[in-house]
Amino acid sequence: MNALEAKPMQPNGKAKEIAAKDIVPRSGAQWTPEQVFLEHAPRVYSLARRMLGNDADAEDVTQDVLLQVVRKLDTFRGEANLSTWLHRITVNAALAHRRKRANREHREVRDPFNHFTEHGYHAQSIRPWSASPDNIVQSKETTALIEKAITELPEIYRDVYVLADVEGLPNQDIGDMLGLSLPAVKSRLHRGRLLMRHSLAPHFEEATL
């Protein structure tokens, strides 16, 4: 039975790939602001947008981060940890932005374990999905559904979820960035995944397609 052949999901694999790709390619050369922009603005924006949930805030944070990078250009000669540093300052900037945002959302924190009866059974039918991990079509429509589900996650889970399952950062790094213990990161990540699964289920369950 496939379901019983559980394998570790290797949450760190993607992070290594990103870091390797992001090593400054111009050995010994100077970054120019233009290079900083072209190489890093898309990723900074993408992370900020997913954490903050809207373009206006993401633009503010992206600009803030890019200017920080330009200001410190001379410290980046051949550094291999630029990607990690960028993640860190983007997360810090996004959190700071969220704190000072006047219309900060006060979304009710949903408990994913509310989807079970008092006796511990699933509260609703759980049907198989039309997609399997080995057979996923990343259409624009699918991507939009996932992005919407991410935006709808409560912030308390969204930050960890985006950093872990979208950006592929190791849990320990996420804990350092967000000031959380490792068990807290894992707990929030699991709850975020359960809420994501619940949000996406109506779109992917076989009977609904």
Partner 1 sequence: MMTCKELAELLQDFLDGELPKEYSDLICHHLRECGPCINFLESYKVTVTMCRKLPPLEMPVEMKERLQAAVREFEEKMSGGSKNSGEPGA
Q: For binding to partner 1 (CB under 8 A), which residues are involved? A: 1-4, 6-9, 11, 14, 30, 32-34, 36-37, 41-43, 45-46, 49-50, 55, 59, 62-63, 66-67, 70-71, 73-74, 112-113, 116, 119-122, 125-129, 131-133, 136, 138, 142-143, 146-147, 150, 161, 165-166, 168, 186, 189-190, 193-194, 196-197, 200-201, 204-205
- Give whichever of 147 and 176 is closer to partner 1, judged by the CB atom: 147
From the CB of 105, what's the least distance to partner 1, in Å? 19
In the complex, the smallest distance separating the C-beta of residue 49 from partner 1, rounded to whole angstroms, is 5
Nearer to partner 1, 56 or 106 (CB): 56
Helix (H) or strand (E) holding 90: helix 82-100
Query: Minimal distance in Å, beta carbon 2 to partner 1?
Result: 8
Rounded CA gap, 138 and 39, in Å?
Answer: 24
Nearest alpha-carbon partner for 22 in 94, 91, 86: 86
Asked if residue 150 lies in contact with residue 200, where contact means CB atoms within 8 angstroms, the answer is no
**Closest to 22 measured CA to CA, from 40, 10, 35:** 40
Shorter beta-carbon distance to partner 1: residue 29 or 80: 29
Give me Rg for the CA atoms of the chain: 19
Minimum CB separation from partner 1 for residue 179, in Å? Answer: 21
Residue nearer to partner 1 on the CB measure, 8 or 179: 8
Residue with smaller CB distance to partner 1, 3 or 209 = 3
3-class secondary structure, 138? coil
d(CA 209, CA 205): 7
| DSSP code at position 135 | B
How far CA 12 is from CA of 1, 164, 169, 172, 174, in Å, comes to 27, 9, 6, 10, 11
